[in-house]
Amino acid sequence: INECDENSNLCPSNTICENTYASYRCNCPRGQNYIDQVCTDVLVFNLQFTIRNVSFTNNLNDPRDEDYLKLKSQLESSVDNVYNKSDERSFYIAPARLQWFSQGPSNTVTANFSIFFNPLVRQMSMGDVRTEFISNLATTANGQSVLEPRYELTSSSIAAGDYNECSYSPSVCDSDELCQNYPGTYRCYCSSPRAVNINNVCT
């Protein structure tokens, strides 16, 4: 059942309804997340890793497919658990969001995530995002990194990066503003040198 299609009033007007496995959730616009039930600017990073013991199928290209939704739900929960037991857990904003699956080497599965942190209490870097993830993974007796409960990761594939919010379409800034990308975030500036941004409005 796609709850978002059946009821257009499930989420507040400034949020986007996303269908999940056996449920749904309300997402803030890009670059924002819920803090105290309000959509607020956050630091957004990309986390990518390859799962060795899951085979890629065409079903993982379809966000509406049950296989896609099941694996998405399991991985998002697992990634949340990793960051929620890290030293940065008080700055981490759950949930992690899977953006897409892609085919990795030897028909493995590569997962791409958005990871969120509260910028008001901690300025995270891409290095911090990767280090906290790796250091809180489980490890087998032979040194294999495992995203619990069962996903074996290729350690060399784990990477963190920055999203360029200024490349989004539609633009995150108004038509009379210039967008400047920064690690984990962005800023909108008035395009005219005489304009002043007051209450987020160029005058």
- If asked whether residues 131 and 184 sit together in one domain, one would say no
Q: How many domains does the chain have?
A: 3
User: Using an 8 Å Cβ cutoff, are 102 and 57 in contact?
Assistant: no
Q: Is 30 left (phi over 0), alpha (psi -120 to 50) or beta?
A: beta
Task: Give the pLDDT confidence score for residue 160 in this predicted structure.
Answer: 95
pLDDT at 123: 77
Whether residue 27 is found in the same domain as residue 16:
yes
Strands 38-41 and 32-35: antiparallel
Q: What is the pLDDT along the chain (203 residues), one digit of tens a residue?
A: 788 888 878 887 778 888 887 788 888 776 677 666 678 778 889 999 999 999 999 999 999 999 999 999 999 999 999 999 999 898 898 889 999 999 999 999 999 999 988 887 667 889 999 999 999 999 887 888 999 989 999 999 999 999 888 888 778 888 888 999 988 888 888 887 767 666 667 76
115 and 50 belong to one structural domain: yes
Calpha distance 196→192 (Å, rounded): 8
Pick from 75, 14, 73: nearest CA to 39: 14
Whether residues 84 and 128 share a domain: the answer is yes
Same domain? 155 vs 117: yes
- Domain CATH for 34: 2.10.25
Amino acid making up residue 161: G
| Cα angle: 9, vertex 14, 17; to 5 degrees | 50
CB 109 within 8 A of CB 101: yes
- Judge if 111 and 171 occupy the same domain: no
Query: What is the predicted pLDDT for the residue at 153?
Result: 96
107 and 54 in a single domain? The answer is yes
Q: Which residues pair with 32 in a beta bridge?
A: 41
Residue 98 sits in a domain of what CATH number?
Answer: 3.30.70.960
Same domain flag for 21 and 63: no
Do both 117 and 170 map to the same domain? no
Which pLDDT score, from 0 to 100, does residue 13 have? 76
CA distance linking residue 111 with residue 3, whole number of Å: 25
Q: Both 75 and 3 in a single domain? A: no
What pLDDT is recorded for position 194?
Answer: 64
- Considering Cα of 70, then 60, then 39, then 136, what sign does the dihedral take? positive
Q: What is the pLDDT of residue 199?
A: 63
Q: What's the domain range around 21?
A: 1-39
User: Do 64 and 31 share a domain, yes or no?
Assistant: no
Q: How far is CA 74 from the centre of its chain?
A: 15
11 and 79 both lie in a single domain: no
